[in-house]
Structure 1
Amino acid sequence: MNMMIKRARKWMPGYLFIFPSLFCFLLFLAYPAVEAIRISFYRLTMKQNTFIGLDNFIQLYHDPNFVKAFWNTMRYVVYIVPFCVVFSIFVAVLIYNKGHKVTSFYRAVFYIPVVSSVVAVSLVWNWIYNPVIGVANYFMNVLGFHSVNWLSDANGAFLCVVFVIITWSVGQPIILYTAALGNISTEYYEAASIDGAGVLKKFMNITWPLVKPTTLYVVVISTIHAFQTFAVIHLLTQGGPYGSTTSIIYELYLNAFLYTNFGYASAMGVVLFLIIGVISYFQFRIMTSKIEF
C-alpha cells in the first residue's frame, strides 16, 4: 500500500501536467468521434431521431452524389500526394546546400502559404481565376491567348482546385526534406564521388534511401490533408461545375449543415475515417518494410 502511494506521488506531477491536454483531447476529439459513430446509425435531423441500423451506410452506396464525391476525393489524393512528394524533394535538393541565407529565403517563400489562412489563400486565387478582372486571364491576353473561364469547365475547375491545394501543401514537406538532407553526412557523397557516381546515382543510392522516413511522414500527412479538402472547394467552386470538384468532406458539410441530415453526414464521416485508416495502414506497411530506422 505504501509502495502504491509512493508511486502515485511520484507520477502525480506528470499526470497533472498532461491533464489539460488530455481533457481537451477527450472532450473535443474523442467524444465527438464516438458520438459521430453512434448517430451514424440514426436518422437524425432537427425533427427526427430514429434508429435505422446500417441504412445510412447502405444509402451511401446508392447515392450518386456521394459516389461522385468519393471518386473525386480519390482523384485529389492521386494528383496531390505524388506531386507534393516529388516537387518537395526536388526543391529541397536544389536549395539545401546553397548557403544559409539562400536556403532560408526559399524555405520562407514556400512556407508562407502554410502559415497563411486557407480562406485568405482561396480568396486570392478566386480573384486570380476571375474571368473578367483576374490576373490569370490578363497574362493569357498578354501572351496572345483568349481568356479562359477557369472555374466553369469541369476538368479545368478540378485542375485549378488541385493547383491551389498544392501551392499551400508543399511548404511543410520542403522544410522537412531540407532538414532531412542536412542530417545526411557529406562523407557518403564524397565516397560516391571518388567511385565516379553522378548526380542521379548519388540521389538514388544515398539521398532517396536516407530520406525515406521523412517521405513516409510526408505521404501519410499529404494523403490525410487531400482527403480532408474542403475550404478551397467551398470558396472556389462550391463543388461544381456539375459536381466535378466536390469531395466527401464537402458532401458531409452539405448534408449536416444545409440539409440538417446529421445521421447521414455522420455515416459519411465514419466511411471517410475508415478509408483514411486503411490507406494509411497500407502506406505504413509498404514503406516501413523498406526503411531501416
Structure 2
Amino acid sequence: MDNTLAKTKPAASSFTRFWKDYGWAYLFILIPLLLFVVFTLYPVISAFIMSFQRYNVLKSKWIGLDNYSYMLQDSVFWKSIKNTVLFTIGTVPVNIIITFVLAFFIFQMKNSFQTFFKAALYLPAVASGVTISVVWLAIFDPTPAGLLNKVLGFFGVEPSVWLGQSSTALFSLMLMSYLGAHGAGIILYLAAMGGIPKSLYEAADIDHASGWAKFSKITWPLLKPTTLYLTVTGVITSFQVFISVYLMTQGGPNFATTTIAYLIYQTAFQFSDFGLASAQSFVLAAMIIVVSVIQFKFFSSDIEY
C-alpha cells in the first residue's frame, strides 16, 4: 500500500505543478473556445444536419440529398450563381487596381497629406452598409432629378431606370462598389510600400533602371502578398454580397441581381425552407473554400531580396 502511494504522489505533484504554471493560461483559452463552440461550431454542425432534412420547428423529417437535388435543378439557383460570379469578376480585379493606384499616388505625398487621404478614404468603411445603400438609392433615382441622371444629362444622356432594368441593375451595384470601400486596402498597401527597403531602389538607380523596371521588378513583386490577401478577402466578400441587394433591388428585376447570399435569405426567411437554405449555404461555403485554395495555390509566393 505504501508503494502505491509512492507511485501516485509524483503524478499528482506533477499535475499540481503544471496547473500552477499553466492553469490560468488554459482558463483564458477556455472562454473563447466555449464561445466558438456555442456560437460557431454548434450552429455549423446543426445547419449541416438540417441540410439533409425537411426542417420543422416541431418535427423535422430526414430526406437525405433531396434538398441538394432540388437545388441543382432550380434555375433561380443557377441564375444566382451566375450573378454572384459576374459580380465577383466585375468588382474584385477593378477594385484592387483602383485601390493600388490610389495608394501609389498617396504614397508619393507628404505625411500630412497621406494622413488626410487615408482618413477620408477609410470613412466609407466605418459607415453602415445600410446608410451607404440608402445614399446610393438617391443617386440612382430614376427621375431626371436623380443625381446620376442629372450629371449624365449634361452630356446629353437620357435618364435611365438604373436599378429597374435587367441590363443595368447588376452593373449599378458594381458601380457602387467601385466608388467606395477602398480605405482598408489603401492602408494595407501604404504599409506594405513603406516596408520596402529603400536600398533596393538606390541599387536600381545605380544601375540606371527605369521607373517601370523599378515598379515591375521591386515594387509589384514585394506587394504580391498584400495583393493576394486583398484578392482572397475581396472574393469572399463579393460572394456574400447581401445588404445592397436587399435594400436596393430585392434581387430584381427578373432575378437580375439575385445573388446566392440573397437567395439563401429568401429561402430561409421568406419561404421558411430552412433545410434547403442550409444546403445552399454549404454550397456557397464550398465555392468560397475552393476559390480561396486555388488563389493561394497559383498566386502565393515567397519573395525575398
Name the residue aligned to 1:147: 159
* Native 8 Å contact 1:46 1:260 kept in 2: no
**Per-residue deviation at 1:47?**
6.6
Distance 1:14 1:130 in 2: 56
| Alignment coverage as a number of residue pairs | 292
Distance 2:206 2:31 in 1: 56
Given the alignment of the two structures, is residue 67 of structure 1 paired with residue 81 of structure 2, yes or no?
Answer: no
Name the residue aligned to 1:129: 140
The percent identity for this pair of structures is 36
Q: Could you tell which deviates more after superposition, 145-154 or 20-29? A: 20-29
Name the residue aligned to 1:31: 42
Deviation by residue 1:224-282 (Cα, 9 ceiling, x = unmatched): 10111000111111111111111111000000000000000000001111111111111
Name the residue aligned to 2:5: none
Moved over 6 A (4+): none
- Cα distance change of structure 1 residues 219 and 154 upon mapping to structure 2, 3 Å threshold: same
Letter paired with 2:64? G
Name the residue aligned to 2:302: 291
Alignment partner for residue 7 of structure 1, among 2, 18, 23?
A: 18
* Native 8 Å contact 1:72 1:244 kept in 2: yes
Letter paired with 1:36? A
Letter paired with 1:27? V
Given the alignment of the two structures, is residue 226 of structure 1 paired with residue 277 of structure 2, yes or no?
Answer: no
* Native 8 Å contact 2:53 2:62 kept in 1: yes
Could you list the runs of 5+ residues in structure 1 that have no partner in the other structure? none
**Per-residue deviation at 1:46?**
5.1
Name the residue aligned to 1:195: 207
Name the residue aligned to 2:8: none
Distance 2:264 2:302 in 1: 37
Given the alignment of the two structures, is residue 16 of structure 1 paired with residue 30 of structure 2, yes or no?
Answer: no
Deviation by residue 1:94-137 (Cα, 9 ceiling, x = unmatched): 11131111111111222111111000000100111011232111
* Native 8 Å contact 2:221 2:303 kept in 1: no
**Per-residue deviation at 1:21?**
2.5
Alignment partner for residue 289 of structure 2, among 277, 287, 290?
A: 277
Deviation by residue 1:1-39 (Cα, 9 ceiling, x = unmatched): 222332232222222223333222222222111111110
Distance 1:98 1:218 in 2: 23
**Per-residue deviation at 1:216?**
1.5
**Per-residue deviation at 1:169?**
3.3
**Per-residue deviation at 1:166?**
3.5
Deviation by residue 1:143-195 (Cα, 9 ceiling, x = unmatched): 33221211122131111111223434322111110110010111111221222
Q: Could you tell which deviates more after superposition, 52-61 or 146-155? A: 146-155
Could you list the runs of 5+ residues in structure 2 that have no partner in the other structure? 1-10
TM-score, normalised by the number of residues in structure 1: 0.95
Distance 1:83 1:144 in 2: 27
Given the alignment of the two structures, is residue 266 of structure 1 paired with residue 266 of structure 2, yes or no?
Answer: no
Distance 1:19 1:197 in 2: 55
Distance 1:5 1:275 in 2: 48
* Native 8 Å contact 2:72 2:78 kept in 1: yes
Distance 1:19 1:46 in 2: 32
Highest relative contact order (Cα 8 Å, sep 6+), 1 or 2?
Answer: 1
Name the residue aligned to 1:176: 188
Distance 1:135 1:225 in 2: 28
Alignment partner for residue 99 of structure 1, among 110, 123, 148?
A: 110
Residue pairs, 1:227-242, within 5 angstroms = 227-242=239-254
- Cα distance change of structure 1 residues 10 and 97 upon mapping to structure 2, 3 Å threshold: farther
Distance 2:56 2:263 in 1: 16
* Native 8 Å contact 1:113 1:167 kept in 2: no
Structure showing greater radius of gyration is 2
Given the alignment of the two structures, is residue 207 of structure 1 paired with residue 207 of structure 2, yes or no?
Answer: no
Name the residue aligned to 2:176: 164
Name the residue aligned to 1:245: 257
TM-score, normalised by the number of residues in structure 2: 0.91
Name the residue aligned to 1:116: 127
